[in-house]
Homo-oligomer: A and B are copies of this chain.
Amino acid sequence: MLGNFSYHNATKLYFGEDSLQYLKQELPKYGNNVVLIYGGGSIKKNGIYDQVIAILKESGKNIAEDAGVMPNPTADKLREGVKIAKAHHADLLLAVGGGSCCDYAKAVSVSVHCDEDPWDKYYARFEEPDCEIVPVGCILTMAGTGSEMNGGAVITNHDTKQKIGHVFGEEVMPKFSILNPRFTMSLPKRQMVAGIYDIFNHICEQYFSGEDDNVSDDLAEALMKSVIRNALVAVDDPENYEARSNIMWAATWALNTLISRGKTTDWMVHMLGQAAGAYTDATHGMTLSAVSLPYYRCIMPYGLPKFRKFAVDVWGVIPAGKTDQEIAREGLAALENWMKKIGVAMKLSELGATEEMIEGIADATLILDGGYKVLDRGEIVRILKESL
């Protein structure tokens, strides 16, 4: 059954090959001072930067640039971004890039008019914004995080070796996001695959919790099946628009709060993966893939009916003549097989993690209680060792 909840997601989305043109329509809604946020400069090579700048100039905007947002945006970079936005009296933060840029823009948006240190306020003390929030718009160049239609903002602190996500409320969600599947085609295949696994895991994190029959799980299964099918196409043929457009749209709905309505959620793969990410600075999606199977094998006995359902409904495992455990195990084997086919990292050691880091990563892992089993320290260490 569905418990009590509210749903409100007012982000306006423009999707498709022609979607960038709608930026012209959105810009007049905001003041003149725009901070253009982007990453390492790939948008300069693929021409997106020039297109965006042209539209901003045509709309008469004063542009300040905040470049160099890294794949795992740091607290130091966040402080720098706040200074840039303050100095420019920013009316709009326009992020052009993947989830890192969107996440970062949201973290800046709640900090521009705030005197406290943003890491301390939002990531150490987990406070909510109590100052004016600068509007954010996103132009996505990678599918994965769902950051384009949610309030999430993950920031990494290298000093404290922490990678923490703050999920802000609806007032921090992007006002608009532009999703052009063609823009995602210039990514290296490894980045595409990491994004795909990130999407898939977002769905799993919300699916593997609770025992009731609810529409949210049905929708989650639909998204999983679409991602599984289209990932196989996209890995063989990255220019396949059908596959890339489906992956991009599934990514948005995998993490915009829809499939978690009325139910509990897990999120322990993200807690383990983010802790590993803080130690290795590895690509987010790959840290998730590396810890997933040891984690799911550990919790499977505690959520057997859902793992059985996952096997049958998502992977088409034929249940006849098998025990529930056999069926569930076959489902996880199918997941493993798919992960290998699309080429995600299967081990943390591939990402630079070492035996010596295990205790530290375990220390940095936040333990949540929404899933089928609240992990103890011994289980976390065992999962991390099996992931190595």
Contact = CB atoms under 8 A, between A and B. Distances in A.
A160 interface: no
B7 A246 contact: no
A245 interface: yes
A214 interface: yes
Interface residues of A, number: 44
Contacts of A226: 215, 218
Max chain B C-beta neighbours (<10 A), residue from A7, A22, A226: A7
Interface stretch (A13-21, A102-110, A292-300): A13-21
Contacts of A117: none
A8 interface: yes
Contacts of A17: 4
Interface in A305-362: none
A261 B6 contact: no
Contacts of A253: 215, 219, 258
B215 A1 contact: no
B262 A249 contact: yes
A280 to B, nearest CB: 32
Contacts of A14: 6
26 contacts: A1-B246, A2-B15, A2-B16, A2-B245, A4-B15, A4-B17, A4-B19, A6-B13, A6-B14, A6-B15, A6-B22, A7-B13, A7-B15, A8-B10, A8-B12, A9-B9, A16-B262, A213-B229, A213-B242, A214-B245, A214-B249, A215-B226, A215-B253, A218-B226, A222-B222, A253-B258
